Each structure stands twice: as C-alpha cells, then as structure tokens.
Chains A and B, each alone.
Chain A
C-alpha cells in the first residue's frame, strides 16, 4: 500500500536486501491502482467461484496512508470484492502510528491487524528502530494495548516476531505472552545460501535450540497462545507458507500495480519476485501462470532431491521458498535452515505435554499417533471415540461462532450465549445432534456469494431447542420453512399458515407458537398424545443409550440420495426393533466395534426405498454421529451396515483433523471391490470399512454360520489388497502411511487370530 516506512529495521527485506525495486516505485498505491487490484480480485473470485479471498495490506508501512487514505482503500476493496466472495481482510503493520481512530476503522471494516514485535525491549530494539536509532518498543506496546481493548479485540490478529538467536528466548517468550496475542508468528530471519543466517556461537543449530527453548516453555505453560510455527510443524499440522507442502497461493501487488510472487523472495536477488505482469493488463490467472508461481503448486515434486527424500518433508516442506536460494542452482536446494529445521522437528516431537491442559473427560487426550494407532486396530477405544466426538462438537461450536460473525449479534445468539453459561449440558446436547453442522455449513456456504438463495438462519431454532431442553423460559422469532419449524433432536412442528417466521415462547413443560394465522401451544409430555402438528423425534433404546430415528430434520438430507419422509408409527417401530436387535448382534459379534458404536452413534436416518437397490447405507462427513440406511428387517444384515458406516464416520472425523492423503494427488488406484480406479481417500475409506467387516465375518465364522468363512476370506483379501495398493501408490502423508501400516498389521493379527 505504501512503499516507505517510518521505521528502519536492519533486517527488513524490503529495504535492506538484494532486491531494490522499491526505489523505482511510487510511494503510495494510487487509488486508481487500488481499484484495479480490487477489480482483478473480484473478477478472479467470480470466475472461480472462490468461497473466500484473503487480502493482506502491507508495505512498507500501510498506516502511513493515514485514516482517510485507508478508509478509501478499504471501502474500495469491500465494495468491489464482497459481492462475489467472502473477503478476509488483514493488515501487517509496525504499529507505530496506530491510534483509536484507526482501530475503530479496522473494526468497522472487519480488518484483522498483525503487529510486528520482536520480543522484550532489548530484543525488539536490536533491529526495530527509527532511522535516528530511537527505540520503537513503547510505540508498539501502546498499539498492542489499543488492540487488546474489548471494543477493538476483534481486529487483533496477533504478533509477528522475527527471531534473533542473540536474544534471550525466555524473555522474548514472556514479552510476547504479556501481550495476550491470539496468535504469534515466529519468523526465521531472511537468509539464503548466498547469505547464510548468522550463527554467532559454536552450536550447529542455534535456531533450533532457541526455538526449542520457547517450545518447551510454551508446552509447560499449557500452550497459552497459538504459535503457528509449532502448530504447523506437528505431524499432520503442516499448513503455513513457511512450512509444509500446501501449494503457494499468494500473489503480491506492488504499489505500482505490478504482480509479484511472495515478497520474501526479495531476499534472494534483485528482481527475484517479479513476474513482469501488472494488474492493469493481466488477470490473476495470467500472473499465476508465471513459471515461478506454477512450480510452487507442485507439492513434493517441486522440491530438490534432498528434500524429496527427507523423512520429515511432509512437515517441513523444504522450508520457506526464499530460504532455498543459491546462485547457480536457484531454488533447487534444501532450506539454508535445513539442519535447524530437522532438529527443531525432533525437538517438537520429543517434548509432548506431560499432561494435557484440558479439563474433565478430555484429560485423556492422545497425541496424533496414539489416536491413529488406536483407530488402526479397526475400532478405537472409548476414550478415542470421546475425543473424536469432542473435536466434532468443537468444530460445530466454531461454525456457530462463524455464523454469528456473519450476521452479528442477534437475540438468538444472545440466548445461545446465555444458555452456554446457564445450561451448558443443554447446549452440548443440541449441538451434538448430527444435523446441526450440516445446517450451519449450509448457512455459511450460502451467505457468501449473492444470488444464491440465503439459507434460513438456523440459530433461533437451535437456541429454542436448548431452552426447551434446559426448561429455561425464552422467546424468539424462528424462521419457518414449508410450514415447518424443526427443533434439532426434539421434533418438528408442522402447521399450515405459519407464515415465514413465528414467535416461539418457551414455558415449563410446553411452548407456544404464534405466526401467520396460527396460534398453538405444544405440550412436551413424552407420554401424552402429541399436540396437533407436533411430531416429536422418535428414539429407541439401544445398548449405547437412546438412538434417534431421524426422519424429520431437513438437514438430514445430506447423503446425496433421497431420504425417506417421516415414517408412520408401525414402520418406525419396526425399524427401531431392527436397529436395537442389530446393535445387540454387533455386541455379540465384535464387542470392540460395539463399544465404538456405543461411544458415538446417536441417530439413524431412513433412506428412501428403491426396489432396484434395496440395501443401501451412507455416511456424511458433516453429520458425525449419524448413519443412513434403507429400512431393512434383518438385524444380521443391519449389523453389518452399522459397523461399515460407523467406520466411515470415525475416519471422516479423523480427516477433519489430519491429512492422511497427500494433497494435490490426482492418483487413481485400482481396487478389488470396484471395476473403476478410485481416488486415494476413497480407497482409504474402503479399506477401513472392509477391515471391520472382515472382523465381523471372522467372528461369525467361529460359530460356523453358513458362508461366514467364505465372506471373511473375501473381505480379508479386499482389505489387504486395498491397503497394499494404497501403500504402493505413494499418495499417503506420513501420518497416513503410519495409519495404513498399522492397519495392515491389525489385519495380519486378525488373520492369525482366525487361525
């Protein structure tokens, strides 16, 4: 935005490093250029239907634009881009000029601000000084204090800290923690093989040692703030540009409107980041076709031979692109920090938390390997299931918060917040319903691009459902869809003439609805005849508790195939009997799988009958805790379907957390259970389900039931061949390889056990 700066940091790559192109550029980006950038971004978002675009305003120092100048820029960006996609606006600043007026502006335009601070006063002032040599420390701390104020806190993104191993890591850590940042980015100083980083002492890996010290403090303190570097380096945690193999999807626009690659490349050589394209004549697509950008979409294949063969490449990803530069071989080298990175990954691995900081039932959190190893047995222990269910609930809560972000504070949100404090169990029970997340995802999806009919706001119905559970009096307007209001996990009210929105009042033991031409009181007495129009969600008692027969919630329609409308009484009772009996069959055949089922399956959705395919079942990634089946009367068959689908549900929850399949893999794998080659994730899901089914048939074979042995052999072969094909495909991440390797091992044991 502004190519000059009020500080004069000696580690700054803009002014102090090889690339000196800033000298030929305008001081500030003219408004016409801002407009052109905004149009290009909007055009790109529209053409590719991007759900979100991240824009980071930086410089030099963007605050040199002043409040009025920044307001123009922000207004321009929001006006051009927001109609087409969600615009995530951020700014990186040295904080010196930040004041209340600017903070208010950032809150108004929803800009999240990151501030650079290198640690305690001594550390910070080692580099971050004014041109006259004066300290910037007090200025920066004042800026952070402003951002911490409750009214500005939403705009506080975090701190960017460039490390210098001559600083005291403990003091740096304490100084950062004292600013209570939502997130800290620790940056290795810019360096290349031509200009290696300073290594002041005799130690070979001073950066790893320095960071290792901070890591230990951080873990000991219970990880009181998010430190991106450590999170990114965890197994399966890769995901910032500095580490890991996620494709580079960042382009930079200079003040004169030229497109450039990530600007840390400026550290490499003069003009290194240039593409020769600009926003006036070239689209985003044209700029990304520049070979320097394209090679960085290639994952492992785009790295040098050393990195490709490195055991931790999926976490390190060869380090920051710019750090690989060496005159002669270009970027085809490991990072100049390679030795430090290797050692740091070791350090991070070797220092897991002695006891996890969470409370209550979550105190048995397993690290990733423990979790994956446990699930690779085929089933997974009760504590693993509890952990998966907890992470799923946490995801749903975050989605709820994201919905609030979109629509601001509403009475429904306030009621949810109140009940979260006053009746947390009721909130938990409602949010754990499998079809809450599909509703929230639908809402978040449709709120971004215009034109798509906005989904109804799911929050009022959630809040009322929680109030009903808690028995807390409340009143809200709830949207009505096709004469129906559904309260998740409780039931649906169908009253013709309700209109588009109805006022729902919760009283002890009942609720009242008023909307359109209708007024109705619904009694919640479970033994009495339901009130007119009220269809309570039915449930059936199973060994794991109460299993819902979910045939009313509109968001149950997430399986890519038609769901059955509400079952009549006899059909529901028949399905309930079959499910309860099937559950007992699972306990009889494979008690370990039954325990996993007990730990998480909460609802079954009837799929629409189709005479051509009478036996179907499905799982949806967004609906953990539920499976869908065609109503079927044979419990032995139903038991197999339940076990099979529950495998998918568990693995889906894991895939929310970790990448087991390498991203960007177009590989298709031949599998024994289908004629056409399949994508790796599909094969992984297939192998995991078939492992469980092998175990079911092996158990049945032991009591000699007809063709059980033949079925067991058949599924065993499928599982084994599928697992071997996956391992041979090289499409798995390190975590994925470990998982499938363990699973393969479990299979051998299964076979041995079967004699």
Chain B
C-alpha cells in the first residue's frame, strides 16, 4: 500500500486563476480537488485554528 496524503491542500492562486477559464460544467470534474479544497477552507472553515476571527464583524473583532 502506498501512503496517500488525504488532506486537500488549500486553494492555490494558480488553480484559482486557471479554473476561471474552465467552463462551469467541467470545474466539478476536472478541478474536483480545488472544489474540495475550497469547500473545506471556505464553507467549513478548514482545520480552523482557535482564536481566528469569525467571518463577519471584523470591526468588533479587530
């Protein structure tokens, strides 16, 4: 058995700018890892460290 890294890496600048040129229809298939990484970082907040600022309310959070 090979050791597969399981954690998706963060969305990279290049992946993001590349995927802008990919038709919507193909993003989910060809950039499944990007979608997963974004889902994890943006929707689920990723492996969120304690002490980060909530997404809203910067003003009272600074």
A618–B59 touching, CB < 8 Å: yes
How far is the CB of A661 from the nearest CB of chain B, in Å?
A: 7
A508 to B61, CA, bound (A): 46
A216 interface residue, CB < 8 Å from B?
A: no
B7–A358 touching, CB < 8 Å: no
A394–B2 touching, CB < 8 Å: no
Partner of B47, one of A153, A249, A262: A249
Residue of A nearest to B49 (CB): A663
A669 to B62, CA, bound (A): 11
Which residues of A sit under 8 angstroms from B16, Cβ to Cβ?
A: 390-391, 394-395, 657
A560–B56 touching, CB < 8 Å: yes
How far is the CB of B28 from the nearest CB of chain A, in Å?
A: 4
A239 to B47, CA, bound (A): 10
A444 interface residue, CB < 8 Å from B?
A: yes
B24–A657 touching, CB < 8 Å: no
A399–B39 touching, CB < 8 Å: yes
Report if A619-B58 is in contact (Cβ < 8 Å); known contacts: A228-B9, A395-B16: yes
The B1-23 residues at the A interface (CB cut-off 8 A) are 1-21, 23
Which residues of A sit under 8 angstroms from B44, Cβ to Cβ?
A: 51-52
From A28-36, A53-61, A339-347, the one touching the partner chain is A53-61
Number of interface residues of A (CB under 8 A): 120
B4–A160 touching, CB < 8 Å: yes
A652–B38 touching, CB < 8 Å: no
A421–B23 touching, CB < 8 Å: yes
How far is the CB of A124 from the nearest CB of chain B, in Å?
A: 13
Report if A558-B19 is in contact (Cβ < 8 Å); known contacts: A157-B32, A445-B43: no
A621 to B43, CA, bound (A): 11
Residue of A nearest to B19 (CB): A394
How far is the CB of A300 from the nearest CB of chain B, in Å?
A: 13
From A180-188, A324-332, A529-537, A701-709, the one touching the partner chain is A180-188
A422 to B10, CA, bound (A): 31
B23–A417 touching, CB < 8 Å: yes
Residue of B nearest to A219 (CB): B14
CB-defined interface of A152-167 with B at 8 Å, one 1/0 digit per residue? 0110011010100000
A12 to B49, CA, bound (A): 35
Partner of A92, one of B4, B53, B59: B4
Residue of A nearest to B58 (CB): A648
Partner of B31, one of A398, A664, A680, A689: A398
A384 to B16, CA, bound (A): 14
How far is the CB of A332 from the nearest CB of chain B, in Å?
A: 21
A182–B38 touching, CB < 8 Å: no
How far is the CB of A208 from the nearest CB of chain B, in Å?
A: 19
Which residues of A sit under 8 angstroms from B17, Cβ to Cβ?
A: 356, 358, 362, 365, 387, 390-391, 394
Which residues of A sit under 8 angstroms from B47, Cβ to Cβ?
A: 246-247, 249, 663
> Interface size for chain B: under 10, 10 to 19, 20 to 34, or 35 or more residues?
35 or more
A559 interface residue, CB < 8 Å from B?
A: yes
A23 interface residue, CB < 8 Å from B?
A: no
Which residues of B sit under 8 angstroms from A51, Cβ to Cβ?
A: 43-44
How far is the CB of B2 from the nearest CB of chain A, in Å?
A: 5
A664–B1 touching, CB < 8 Å: no
A405–B49 touching, CB < 8 Å: no
A420–B25 touching, CB < 8 Å: yes
CB-defined interface of A71-100 with B at 8 Å, one 1/0 digit per residue? 000000000000000001010100000000
How far is the CB of B24 from the nearest CB of chain A, in Å?
A: 4
B13–A368 touching, CB < 8 Å: yes
How far is the CB of B14 from the nearest CB of chain A, in Å?
A: 6
A674 to B25, CA, bound (A): 48
A678 to B18, CA, bound (A): 37
A673 interface residue, CB < 8 Å from B?
A: yes
CB-defined interface of A652-667 with B at 8 Å, one 1/0 digit per residue? 1000111101111111
Report if A420-B23 is in contact (Cβ < 8 Å); known contacts: A56-B6, A250-B6, A664-B49: yes
A700 interface residue, CB < 8 Å from B?
A: no
Which residues of A sit under 8 angstroms from B42, Cβ to Cβ?
A: 395, 399, 437, 441, 622, 656
Report if A358-B18 is in contact (Cβ < 8 Å); known contacts: A402-B39, A404-B28, A421-B23: yes
How far is the CB of A114 from the nearest CB of chain B, in Å?
A: 6
A620–B34 touching, CB < 8 Å: no
A668 interface residue, CB < 8 Å from B?
A: yes
Which residues of B sit under 8 angstroms from A56, Cβ to Cβ?
A: 4, 6
A670 to B42, CA, bound (A): 28
B10–A237 touching, CB < 8 Å: yes
Which residues of A sit under 8 angstroms from B18, Cβ to Cβ?
A: 223, 357-358
A405–B50 touching, CB < 8 Å: no
Residue of A nearest to B52 (CB): A681
A240–B11 touching, CB < 8 Å: no
A395–B62 touching, CB < 8 Å: no
A678–B9 touching, CB < 8 Å: no
A738 to B41, CA, bound (A): 23
How far is the CB of A256 from the nearest CB of chain B, in Å?
A: 16
A501 interface residue, CB < 8 Å from B?
A: no
Report if A13-B3 is in contact (Cβ < 8 Å); known contacts: A182-B33, A398-B34, A663-B49: yes
Most chain A beta carbons < 10 A, residue from B3, B23, B27, B43: B3
A620–B19 touching, CB < 8 Å: no
B4–A185 touching, CB < 8 Å: yes
A666–B59 touching, CB < 8 Å: no
B49–A661 touching, CB < 8 Å: yes
How far is the CB of B50 from the nearest CB of chain A, in Å?
A: 5
A635 to B23, CA, bound (A): 42
How far is the CB of A134 from the nearest CB of chain B, in Å?
A: 20
Which residues of B sit under 8 angstroms from A661, Cβ to Cβ?
A: 49, 52
A168 to B3, CA, bound (A): 22
How far is the CB of A193 from the nearest CB of chain B, in Å?
A: 18
Residue of A nearest to B34 (CB): A398
B27–A398 touching, CB < 8 Å: yes
Which residues of B sit under 8 angstroms from A231, Cβ to Cβ?
A: 9, 12, 15
Which residues of A sit under 8 angstroms from B13, Cβ to Cβ?
A: 365, 367-368, 371, 387, 391, 657
A237–B12 touching, CB < 8 Å: yes
A495 interface residue, CB < 8 Å from B?
A: no
Residue of A nearest to B62 (CB): A686
In the complex, the 9 A-B pairs of residues with the closest C-beta atoms, listed nearest first = A686-B62, A679-B51, A621-B55, A239-B9, A663-B49, A240-B5, A51-B44, A560-B57, A401-B28
Additional pairs, 12, CB under 8 Å, beyond known A90-B6, A679-B53, A681-B52: A13-B1, A52-B40, A241-B5, A394-B19, A395-B11, A395-B38, A399-B39, A402-B38, A620-B55, A648-B59, A681-B53, A682-B61
Residues on A lying within 8 angstroms of B by beta carbon are: 5, 12-14, 51-52, 54, 56, 58-61, 88, 90, 92, 112, 114, 116, 153-154, 157-158, 160, 162, 182-183, 185, 187, 190, 223, 226, 228, 231-232, 234, 236-242, 246-247, 249-250, 262-264, 320, 356-359, 362, 365, 367-368, 371, 387, 390-391, 393-395, 397-402, 404-405, 416-417, 420-421, 427, 437, 441, 444-445, 558-561, 616-622, 644-645, 648, 652, 656-659, 661-668, 673-674, 678-683, 685-686, 689
Residues on B lying within 8 angstroms of A by beta carbon are: 1-21, 23-25, 27-36, 38-44, 47-62
List, sorted by A's number, 10 A–B pairs whose CB atoms are closer than 8 Å. A54-B7, A249-B7, A249-B47, A362-B17, A391-B16, A395-B16, A417-B23, A658-B10, A659-B10, A685-B62
